[in-house]
Chains A and B, each alone.
Chain A
Amino acid sequence: MATIAFLLNGAPHQCEVSPNTSILTLLREHLALTGTKEGCASGDCGACTVAIGEQNADTHTFTSANACITPAHQLQGRHLVTIEGLAKEGRLHPAQEAMIECHGSQCGFCTPGIVMSLFTLHNDLTQRPAPLTPERLEAALGGNLCRCTGYRPIRDAALRMNDMPYERPQWQDAALSTSENDAEITDPTAKTPFFAQPLSLAALTRLRQEAPQARLVAGGTDLWLESTQRLASLDQLIDVSRVAELLTVEATTFEGQPGWWIGAGVTYTQLEPLFEEHFPAFAHLLHRLGSQQIRNRGTLGGNIANASPIGDTPPVLLALGARVELASVKGSRCLALENFFLDYKQTAMAADEVVSRIFIPQAIERSQLRVWKLSKRREDDISAVLGAFSYRIEQGVLHDVRIAFGGMAATPKRAQAAEATLEGSAITADAFRAAQRSLDEDFQPMSDVRGSQHYRQQAAKNLFERLYLSLSAPDREVMLHAYAH
């Protein structure tokens, strides 16, 4: 047990919980606040959505999170807002008022989560006034499943709440005087539970060395399923989400290449502006990665370190020639990402190492990036197949071809035979047909719940046809832009 101190709906709160406790468990079982619902306990339905505020000058910035897979200890020094907190003195928040007026609830079970997502959207809109585009709405609501309404009245509510008079109440920006938690563990080798929150890379690597058996947690969006689905006890945790060096994005040159060092603890949401500017295809993928709640928590470092064959970002990073930096008390080393993934969920990371940063080289002139994710559902789904294509066209010839796929092998993997086929060749149907054939050398995918082997192989080949068509007849629409660019 350790004490955490945070703001709960505007009031300071302190409690003692075990490291393994999620925010949802804290709310429902320790605090008897049952307005936040459990729909799936896996971060996929959004019924448990809460808002987490971080002090930013005088105000709090609220982001949505799935309480079921967010460690309660990460609330330390933060402001937790739940459905119970929105209405004060009998006055409903516009998100609530609008949901009633638009008949936005039927069975009502998903409603608290939807109201909380609307609350963060409303907060965002009042702090960063910008048009409420369909894309922004989709981002705000894509992580909340509703089985009753079909979402139309919820869309109406999202639009209506912004026309309602609103004055930001003081409680939202209440101050919390609290220090960060200590990163010291009294006896890291013992079986005593701990939730360590180091603030520096030095502290992190020291902890990592002292307690290699402890699990690293950033957003927890995958790790926490071990607790909720497989009933593992996550008793010893090292939180990387407050390590200063892991939270930066630095434009620099590495090994002669301009690019960016991205801290492993940077969330997808924080990456969006950078990618929007420099890698729009990657940014588009981010919009389809998980949900807003997940993107607010999940990190690039976590997606890599997790080494899932169906993680969304690794194929793109492979195609971009990204490097990964591993840090330990002994120092750091850097390797090409393709050398990091060894086998199914096996990486080159040693027990005392952490993923500290990822280097993404800047796109060179005339190079292009295409990222195509195939999944059963457009939003908040895991890829069946994800293809990332990076290449440069000079006088009609393909150069620097780097192609990587997810969902096609035990690891995210480059399609080297296909790359070789296309490298230096003109954009012809024959060349791409040859590349399609060479995919059979690169991959022997398997059948699983997300797609059959035959589909995966054929879909991957069809993406080469898509690429050919988009290059040979660029004026013609050959894909649906809600899915792909």
Chain B
Amino acid sequence: MRTLTKLDGDSSRARRDLHDHIQGSGPLARHTVDSTGRRQAGSSSFHESAKKHVTGKAAYIDDLVLPADVLHVALGLSPIAHGTLTQLDLSRVKEAPGVVDVITFHEVPGHTDIGPVFPGDPIFVDQEISYAGQCLFAVAATSLQAARRAVKLAAVSIDEQPASLDPVAATEREEFVRPTHVQTRGNWQQALDQAEQIIEGELFVGGQEHFYLEGQACVVHPTEDEGVIVHTSNQHPSETQKLVAEVLDIPFHAVTVEVRRMGGGFGGKETQASPWACIAAFIARRTGKTVRLRLPRSEDMRATGKRHPFHNRYRLAIDSKGVLQGGEITVIGDCGYSPDLSDAIVDRAMFHADNAYSLGEAQVTGHRAKTHTASNTAFRGFGGPQGMMIIEAAMDDIARKIGEDPLTIRKRNFYRDGREVTHYGQQVDQRQLLHTLVETLESDSEYWARRKAVSDFNATSPVIKKGLALTPVKFGISFTAQHLNQAGALLHVYTDGSVMINHGGTEMGQGLHTKICQVVARELGLDLDKVRITATRTDKVPNTSPTAASSGADLNGMAARDAAGKLRERLFDFAAEHFTEGLDREGMRLEDGMLVAGIGESERRVPWGELVQTAYINRVSLSEKGFYATPLIHYDRSIGQGRPFYYYAFGAAVAEVSVDTLSGEYLVDRVDILHDVGDSLNPAIDIGQVEGGFIQGMGWLTSEELKWNDKGALVSDGPATYKIPTYGDLPPTFNVALLEGHPNSMASLYRSKAVGEPPFMLGISVWSALRDALSSLTNYTDSPHLDTPATPERVMLAANAIREKAL
């Protein structure tokens, strides 16, 4: 595979390559499972660290063995959401036992603003306090306990001001972290004016705490020159490298950032891991000692941003059949106090306000409200889920209004030939796949028979009501910031034939490293155990993009494949010239640990070990780097139109729930999922992503409730008060399948598709099923309002409201 960046000539070869590159005529992942069952791309290899996980040997940041004089850092956080810091007396802190160093805004030598994309995130508060949990100062001591106790001795005076906590009010006052963006296609106003019917609604969609099991953590070693080595639990090492260098006012090459693995990321360590690395690095330079900084759980939850809560509204024109003609959708993202990644997140909410449905002539508006909370950030789906919620709410609402089953209405509105272009101007490729997938699931899950059973049950059950819903997912794959769609890899072959691959992606449990090893093993025709991956480091592969946007395997896998392919070609060239018996260069291949040339009687085989040994002796480089940049994508923000996504991933889920309408308690009885990953790189890992994403999405919409008090302090700041799904929330019947036989229509990595984020939104089916159950209280004539998370409290209050209305 040649990369696009090399296609600068106008030869026909380059044109053909470019065509292949885009149209996807390449090999499939499944074709890599060989007869001997060797674990290459396309097979269900175990996670590369699985054995280390189960024996406790996999090391996370807090497990690293450190020098005896390591310093531990604790942070002083603001208890107040908004105000001015009038006094910060740290004299008692400095005198506390074990304290070695105390730093504030004023000690920082370089940049004090560590905003990742746009400015606005001070490393420490100077004067203005913008959220409860914002960092005021840091203490380094000989033990974590000593540091944490010392923090409590600070004398802090704050001139408290009223906190702005309502994003809708902030929007009305035009308090934004970034300007409003609008996407328009067609004459949406006219569509509303000429509508047969107009339907409107609004929805509050709650935020979500990442609750990665391993909290934010880093260890920083000072180096012998002016630099640092940073070990961090981090999805974006290159950005941390940049920010640490800027804070320390040293060149980037003086900072090396290393990430072996994270104990969960989910977006929460894309930008939000950097501040701690910057603080620890600064203390490491000041003291000359190794510094460890790990946020205790409640501080982690208060100090770091979360999934954006959204307030969404729709006003849509429909025809008598419930088909969308056009209209407007407005999404308001609660961004917290600073931009962080909110521009792209609200954009993605807008890009997904259609989900799988053609909006017709529509305008989508996205506001970025500024409030006095932590700066909300990336979280699996990156605004997409919040955007999708409004159109899924609308689908249910339309169904009740028209008096048809919500599934019928959904299918009627799917993108189809003639209605194939999104409100931002991208044509939906593989749109037929959406229909095929949903029809297959509808049939496999026996949707209609169960619909009847649910109705029959509800007719005779006054308190317990069952609900059923099928919701689809269409999720755009690519970073919407075009420049991030690039990746690098570094491949070394050692003289014993063992292979080392490094790339820019980070491992957070998603199995990226496993897939990359599979890619290299496939390209070099080796057993998987010949290929090893080590920590992601900025001094091995530089200038990397975050492991985010589901793109880890798509981008880095292609870069690794590029490196392996180039090395393979070089070895072929060498072998064709070197081996005296004369190997046929044409048709040369690597398989089963051999270089194979010719066929039949003229076939010649050279063992891999002998090949690389010979190449080394003959001074052929056994190291190669790879690169990849996603072709085609572009988006013109000035007109809100373009092709921001290389392709779409699809999926659908059917959820069935039982609701106690007196108590609001409910159970998810059964879930059926069919999901599209193109041609799977590793079915076991992909299923794991689908299941885990679904449960996480379900948690977001059900039990995971963020609560702040009226002064803006987060009160759900630990697992005792913030409830992620636990074992008992696993549906007793949980049928999950990958869609077979539909490789990616684009030339992605072995025609696979990204899998990290899309399944998250399958969880919407549970929320829709809960609404379906509540709707039964109105004999399906009304669509009950149900903000999220749909806790038992919200479900009970919704049911009570329906009952009271009926009285």
Contacts and interface: CB of A to CB of B under 8 A. Distances in A.
Interface stretch (A191-199, A298-306, A370-378, A396-404): A370-378
A14 B187 CA distance: 79
Contacts of A92: 51, 54-55
Contacts of A451: 793
Interface string A69-94: 00000000000001110110000100
Contacts of A469: 462-463, 662
B730 A148 contact: no
Contacts of A419: none
B436 interface: no
A177 interface: no
Contact of B211 (A103, A147, A374, A450): A147
Nearest to A225: B720
Interface in B696-755: 696, 703, 705, 707, 715-716, 718-721, 723-730, 732, 734, 736
A151 B696 CA distance: 11
B593 interface: no
A99 B719 CA distance: 24
Interface string A444-459: 0000111110110011
A150 B660 contact: no
Contacts of A239: none
B297 A41 contact: yes
B47 interface: yes
DSSP majority for the A interface?
Answer: loop
Contacts, number: 271
Given A103-B684, A480-B667, A38 B58 contact: no
A141 B727 contact: yes
Interface in B656-684: 658, 660, 662-667, 684
A150 B689 CA distance: 9
B328 to A, nearest CB: 32
A459 B46 CA distance: 47
Contacts of A107: 212-214, 261-265, 508-509
B664 to A, nearest CB: 7
Given A150-B692, A152-B691, A455-B796, A106 B510 contact: yes
Interface in A305-347: none
Nearest to A114: B54
B152 interface: yes
A12 B57 CA distance: 23
B461 interface: yes
Contacts of B98: none
A181 B619 CA distance: 70
A158 to B, nearest CB: 9
B461 to A, nearest CB: 7
Contacts of A465: 662
A147 B792 contact: no
Contacts of B693: 150
Contact of A378 (B58, B148, B728): B728
Given A152-B691, A478-B464, A105 B727 contact: no
Given A449-B721, A480-B464, A39 B213 contact: yes
B211 A142 contact: no
Interface string B202-245: 00000000111111000000000000000000000000000000
Which of A37, A152, A154, A377 gathers the greatest number of chain B CB atoms within 10 Å?
A377
A108 interface: yes
A229 B302 CA distance: 14
Contacts of A11: none
Nearest to A463: B663
Given A41-B296, A44-B718, A152 B55 contact: no
Given A45-B719, A148-B692, A83 B55 contact: yes
B531 to A, nearest CB: 19
Contacts of A377: 703, 723, 725-726, 729
DSSP majority for the B interface?
Answer: loop
A283 interface: no
Interface string A25-57: 000100011111111111011010000000000
A104 B44 CA distance: 13
Contacts of A374: 663-665, 792
Nearest to A83: B56
Contacts of A372: 663
B609 interface: no
B631 interface: no
Given A379-B727, A483-B665, A455 B705 contact: no
Contact of A150 (B44, B57, B695): B695
A144 B684 CA distance: 22
A105 B266 CA distance: 15
Nearest to A39: B213
A120 interface: no
Interface stretch (B59-67, B409-417, B540-548): B59-67
Contacts of A83: 54-56
Contact of B148 (A111, A143, A154, A231): A231
B505 interface: no
Contacts of A33: 56
A63 interface: no
B730 A151 contact: yes
Interface string A350-384: 00000000000000000000001011111111101
Given A107-B509, A377-B729, A459 B796 contact: yes
Given A103-B685, A376-B791, A42 B297 contact: yes
B633 interface: no
Which of A32, A39, A95, A153 gathers the greatest number of chain B CB atoms within 10 Å?
A39
Interface of B: 44, 46-47, 49-60, 62-63, 65, 145, 148-149, 152, 210-215, 261-266, 296-298, 461-464, 508-511, 658, 660, 662-667, 684-685, 687-688, 691-696, 703, 705, 707, 715-716, 718-721, 723-730, 732, 734, 736, 791-793, 796-797, 800
6 closest Cβ pairs, A-B complex: A35-B56, A107-B509, A109-B263, A108-B53, A150-B695, A83-B56
19 contacts: A34-B62, A45-B719, A105-B54, A106-B47, A106-B692, A107-B214, A107-B263, A109-B60, A143-B726, A150-B695, A151-B729, A151-B730, A377-B723, A379-B727, A381-B723, A449-B721, A455-B796, A459-B664, A477-B463
Given A35-B55, A37-B263, A466-B463, 4 more contacts: A44-B720, A107-B508, A384-B792, A484-B665
